[in-house]
Amino acid sequence: MLLRSSLPACFVLAITVLPQPARAWGTPGHRLICEQAWDELQPAAERGVRAALGVTSKEDFAARCQHTEIKPHDLMSLPSGARDVNYERDCPDQRSCPAREIERAFADISALRGDVGEAILRLAHFTGEVHQPLSVGYAADRNGLDTRAVFLGRSTNMHAIWNDELVMAPRSPQAADTGFDLRVITNYLERPQWTQSTPLAWATESYWIMRTPATGYLGNPGDLAFDEVYVAQNKLTALEQIEKAGIRLSHLLNRAFGDPGASLPVSSRPVD
């Protein structure tokens, strides 16, 4: 039971009280990411975020982490059958993508360049987006936006299921506490490794989640129905992605504002 408390309370409580979102990890997903990040900020980063955004609390910061419309930079669209993420092919400068936008926002904050508050919100937004598995999908169906589906009896599409509907869906009682506890233990042990990779690696993680049979995306002909079994198979994966995004966002902010303990790699290439 002690390990259960290591999972942030926002993942246990906020999912049940936040309103149904319109789209895009959903505003609830983005808020959860920012709440998680706030709890991990070092003093210098917290002071920087407070000053740049004029916020005074975790709740104020989370309220700024809103997102209601999918834009081209939110997606990393790969050719069908691609074996892996290719930065130059899948994220060209002229089109960009979440991974590249994370690098740019991080550079702006680190250099105190331009509107730092706006850069913090961009960093939070794109860190969230790169962890949504269908943000790294196939161009042929616009990352699942064009693949119709029925989720818990409602007409929707595959992208929307992973953006918000899966996160908001109640967890089936059949998904026993044992599975939840094992995921918490795994996260507790693996958490230090979450911050030792680049945004491109995070996109690759999302891509391989997207390709797993459990997501129902790969080879989906459209108009498939997904029920409580799908929720039991995938909800914890979605919540883990949100938790990873929050932890990684905090490390990006800690490093950008000069915390000496933040050693997160940001890019393997110069930022334009």
Provide the residue ranges of all domains of the chain, joining segments of one domain with +: 3-14+24-77+95-256
pTM for the predicted model, two decimal places: 0.82
- pLDDT of residue 104 exceeding 90, the answer is yes
Which class for 23: exposed (0-12), middle (13-18), buried (19 or more C-beta within 10 A)?
middle
In words, the CATH class of domain 3-14+24-77+95-256 is: mainly alpha
Is residue 185 very low, low, confident or very high in pLDDT (cuts 50, 70, 90)? low
Section 41-53 average pLDDT: 96
Alpha-helical (H) ranges within the chain are: 9-17, 26-40, 43-53, 58-64, 87-90, 98-110, 116-130, 158-160, 166-168, 177-194, 199-211, 228-256
What mean pLDDT is reported for the chain? 83
Is residue 9 very low, low, confident or very high in pLDDT (cuts 50, 70, 90)? very low
Is residue 73 very low, low, confident or very high in pLDDT (cuts 50, 70, 90)? confident
pLDDT of residue 178: 44
- pLDDT of residue 11 exceeding 50, the answer is no
